[in-house]
Structure 1
């Protein structure tokens, strides 16, 4: 077995912890004592009255509370006596910098929504300052909803990187690529060049990574896709794109290229285990076979697809075909919420309704889709996505003690079908507390001032208001 540099570091931390003792106890940074823990791996496991032991941001043990108290001496111990502890949620597809466009244009199909409202508004307001402000707003919303990592795609990725670093969140930032000009870049080559230069400014940051992000097959030419593939292979980057979101997209591809978009991508060499395709709503058997054969990943965005009337992705068939499916919110402009609890519930319910099978996408699978499956798609499953020894302590605590959440017979089922993001009580990223909610109505961020967010909203709302539908 071979280990990368990060894996070796985590193994050394665990080894060092075993040699650090104080009065026959091992000194560690943090102990989280929880009523329940769902580690995700192993599957369908619920631990009761258990503790997660954390040192230097890494999970070094998972043990019953009594054992933890007798074995470890922590700088800090937090009692989560009413909480369910889960891995931090992973938002596999979003546009964080579109958060300030929330509600700008509603009840409109995708293409009119884009052409008549979103793209004109972007031409007027999108700048590095707007992206930074809006992305910070998005990071705050996601953190408060238990999200510790998000997969993004938008202009000025450096500005989103700055927002993620301030929030203390993990992010994979898409280097967006289009053929047409925007305030950010003039043509496809300009998008690629700027994206790669920006990536160099955060390369090596422990919370940030990058992907090549061609917007969609209908906005990117074959020659550009070929360049993207070359850069992705040379630099070891993933590829993140929109794919098969609407019937119109599929029909346009057949008319223009003679094949469906996924087949076109396969012919170009784009499909593979480094590809995350958002949406994948309109799929036939050949589409499913291609994604499965090439080991590509799907970011399922059920709420956005429903709200834009794009359709319902065949999530049961995707899963049955062995395709790794994660969950995303899409941007707040099309969803209005970056709420992974809503996505987990929606994904499970839609799968049951469309398949007429109540066992389709059970609660455990919905949680996997928003944790370990997302981590696999991002190539981070050796670091995050489950509560395992050696992984980074990206964790979310969910309170199950209030009237609307009681009684609780099965905490995992409760998480998906009863709890909402308002029940998130704590969020840690690499063992650092990034968000804490003292009650259901308010919360405190480690590095974000709520008054700053209010000022940001007021500043940009007046500028965007003229584009309100």
Structure 2
């Protein structure tokens, strides 16, 4: 049994059903869950933290990432490319992935996420070079080393350049190979229990790099095992034109024909849905992971988030891959999302608090979880705290619900707690030597990019 007591929190934003802001309250965490919440709790714990002057929030939940891309960010040759050319160029790097790249990029990317208040990471990994080893096992081990809650995906591609797709032959597999390994990964790593630290989804890469058979078989297998489905969809106009030429239908109709719609499905990006398609998403409960910084960098467009939220489409927030974001801070994503939609939609834009709810409750909903994304008794003890006395926050904390979107937070948070354990303290990761990991990661990145 492990216990953590946080005393006298100045302002606590619960993101619960009542949208409460609590003042001068304590939280008692026991064995990874919130056991008590209220003022002046009569309790003792293995560790006590003084929450005076702290703003406290539910841990942020990242719903789409490609952690391996940490080792291919900020490359000059791709900075002005759009998605298809960008992918074709970077696949020539990504085909050289190995377990060391996966471990160190995962530690780096998830470490950055956690330093900025993220407590759950979903990663969409779909590049599996032959003989690279158990890459998802490597990711889960890295997550355990950091202490972050991890949701991996068994991604896949079966259409290479010779088949009309984008990736090289060396990173695609047959449908049979993919289905066999997908079943193995689910059976070995997926934990459906409440409060699970490890879960698995099935996530073929995108309609333009996988076959209809792969999409259809993945949906069947996922529902046999009760796991979720994820892929990229409607990210660019090029994708839309590609699908119209190849299949004669728009991307969403194509996916719907193959069983890819419903409450167990969420798409990354979802920029180019039309009015009718937004209503289909809302009616079926099919979700969208919003990746504003990536969409801006690749000139992909602006997702219709205000309309999605009004219609009731499930929407979460995500950083996307580090090669299309150049970072792994969901905190930064939160403010950019707020500002982007204010610019594009004016009074119709979501508020700063709406964006916070998107990054917490909304993201948890996409992942099919009701145990994270809010601070309430019985929920997972996942949260972060920021000292309200910071110079850059002077005069801005009168509305703690919106401040992360409107003002934002520069630099790491003061504390991150995952599963009732302190994983970031005074802005530093507690479970790894940051300088040593950075040294190892830079050395591996140099060798990887030189291949």
TM (normalized to structure 1)?
0.87
Query: Aligned pair in 2 of structure 1 residues 47, 423: CA closer, same or farther (>3 Å)?
Result: farther
Partner residue of 2:36? 61
Deviates more, 1:335-344 or 1:455-464: 455-464
Partner residue of 1:86? 57
From 179, 192, 198, the counterpart of 1:192: 179
Partner residue of 1:4? none
Give the Å deviation of 1:42.
3.2
Contact 1:291–1:323 (CA under 8 A) maintained in structure 2: yes
Deviates more, 1:386-395 or 1:91-100: 91-100
Partner residue of 1:23? none
Give the Å deviation of 1:38.
0.2
TM (normalized to structure 2)?
0.91
Unaligned runs of 5+ in 1: 1-12, 14-26, 438-442
How big is each residue's C-alpha offset from its partner over 1:315-339, in whole Å with a ceiling of 9 and x where there is no partner? 1111111101100000111100111
Partner residue of 1:41? 16
Unaligned runs of 5+ in 2: 128-134, 161-167
CA distance in structure 2 between the partners assigned to 1:421 and 1:60 by the alignment: 31
Contact 2:234–2:271 (CA under 8 A) maintained in structure 1: yes
SS of alignment partner, residue 245 of structure 1: coil
Partner residue of 2:68? 97
SS of alignment partner, residue 51 of structure 2: strand
Query: Aligned pair in 2 of structure 1 residues 460, 183: CA closer, same or farther (>3 Å)?
Result: farther
Structure 1 residues 12-411: aligned runs within 5 Å:
29-64=4-39, 67-68=40-41, 71-104=42-75, 105-116=78-89, 118-123=90-95, 125-154=96-125, 155=127, 156-179=135-158, 180=160, 186-204=173-191, 206-357=196-347, 360-381=349-370, 383-408=371-396, 409-411=398-400
Contact 1:295–1:323 (CA under 8 A) maintained in structure 2: yes
Query: Aligned pair in 2 of structure 1 residues 352, 419: CA closer, same or farther (>3 Å)?
Result: closer
Give the Å deviation of 1:31.
3.2
CA distance in structure 2 between the partners assigned to 1:278 and 1:32 by the alignment: 39
The alignment covers a number of residue pairs equal to 429
Query: Aligned pair in 2 of structure 1 residues 403, 246: CA closer, same or farther (>3 Å)?
Result: same
CA distance in structure 2 between the partners assigned to 1:52 and 1:350 by the alignment: 35
Give the Å deviation of 1:145.
0.9
Root mean square deviation of aligned Cα: 1.9
Give the Å deviation of 1:182.
6.0
SS of alignment partner, residue 320 of structure 2: coil
Contact 2:291–2:320 (CA under 8 A) maintained in structure 1: yes
Deviates more, 1:103-112 or 1:226-235: 103-112
Give the Å deviation of 1:457.
2.6
SS of alignment partner, residue 217 of structure 1: coil
Give the Å deviation of 1:410.
1.6
How big is each residue's C-alpha offset from its partner over 1:130-176, in whole Å with a ceiling of 9 and x where there is no partner? 11121111111111111110111114222211111111111111101
SS of alignment partner, residue 356 of structure 1: helix
Give the Å deviation of 1:396.
0.7
How big is each residue's C-alpha offset from its partner over 1:367-418, in whole Å with a ceiling of 9 and x where there is no partner? 111111111111112x111001101101111222122110132222222222
Contact 2:6–2:51 (CA under 8 A) maintained in structure 1: no
Contact 1:185–1:191 (CA under 8 A) maintained in structure 2: no
Partner residue of 1:20? none
CA distance in structure 2 between the partners assigned to 1:456 and 1:192 by the alignment: 34
Contact 1:242–1:278 (CA under 8 A) maintained in structure 2: yes
Q: Does residue 445 of structure 1 match 2:429?
A: yes
Partner residue of 1:6? none
CA distance in structure 1 between the partners assigned to 2:214 and 2:282 by the alignment: 25
Contact 1:298–1:325 (CA under 8 A) maintained in structure 2: yes
CA distance in structure 2 between the partners assigned to 1:141 and 1:103 by the alignment: 16
Give the Å deviation of 1:29.
4.2
Contact 1:400–1:423 (CA under 8 A) maintained in structure 2: no
